[in-house]
Amino acid sequence: MKAGSNEHTPRHVAIIMDGNGRWATTRGFPRIEGHRRGGEAVREALAGCEENGVTHLTLYAFSAENWNRPSGEIDGLMRLLVSYLRREVKDLVKRGVRLHVAGEWERLPAAPRRELQRALEATAGCHERHLALALNYGSRQEAAAAARAYAEAVLRGDEDPADCTWERFRRYLFTADLPDPDLIIRTSGESRLSNFLLLQSAYAELFFSPVLWPDFTRDHFREAVEAFRKRERRFGLTSEQVRRPAAAAS
């Protein structure tokens, strides 16, 4: 997307899916029911992508800090992940959605690892849209891992530190096969990034929704996209610089 462009749809939307526990608690349900209903909201987000022309969607599904939650909740989340993948992979293939995983997902339990591998293989030939699940993900951990990998490449002679640029370094991030997000949405009324895509979101637009994630629909997704379209993205330029080419073209 060009600097200053505000009429286009974001190519890549990333979502911090917050509010599952609060949704369940306020309704007298166990917290895991909120997470289950949150899985249904993923379908709405994917539908929102299709309806609004978004090609890449990244979901903050399980953070590196989530391991500190009660063991019962973690086990339930892993079971829900397995269930979601088994249930949805055929539909992802039908809709041309390729699955990606961002994070140290090899540290997940064996069952979700197996299902993730199967889903990655099943959707490998899909190219119409992309769905990335951030699992065991933390941006600071990602930066440290990328620095280690880059240093190892230097030792092998594959990289020259004198030539280090963002474009070269980003190839060592968990999101190397994804474009940087244009729009980051956080639900539930919280206004922070919580260690999510900190490097990649340097120029992303932020949209904070008061809606709890299980209640987030394709209409809420469209609202965020419409807000994005109204913003002027300057990428370090002044408004005058951004608007001048458009004025000249007219």
Q: Which of 242, 247, 241, 190 is nearest to 213 (CA)?
A: 190
**pLDDT value, residue 232:** 80
What residues of the chain score a pLDDT lower than 50? 1-6
- Tell me what pLDDT residue 3 has: 42
180 is catalytic: no
Q: Using the 8-state DSSP alphabet, how is residue 215 labeled?
A: G
Residue 235 placed within a domain? yes
148 within some domain = no
Please check whether residue 123 lies inside any domain of the structure: yes
- Report yes or no on 149 lying in a domain: no
CATH code (residue 48): 3.40.1180.10
Count structural domains, the chain: 1
Flag whether 159 is in a domain: no
Task: Render pLDDT for 90-128 as a digit per residue (tens, 0 to 9).
Answer: 999 999 999 999 999 999 999 999 999 999 999 999 999
pTM: 0.91
Which entry of 18, 20, 180, 182 is annotated as an active-site residue?
18
* Active-site residue identified among 6, 66, 195, 215: 66
Identify whether 126 is part of a domain.
yes
Q: Determine the pLDDT at residue 250.
A: 55
Rounded Cα gap, residues 66 and 9, in angstroms: 32
- Residue 212 structural domain: 12-138+181-249
Task: Give the CA dihedral 210, 216, 218, 224, nearest 10 degrees.
Answer: 20
3-state helix vs strand vs coil in the chain, percent to 5? 50, 15, 35
66 assigned to active site: yes
Distance CA 178, CA 5 (A): 21
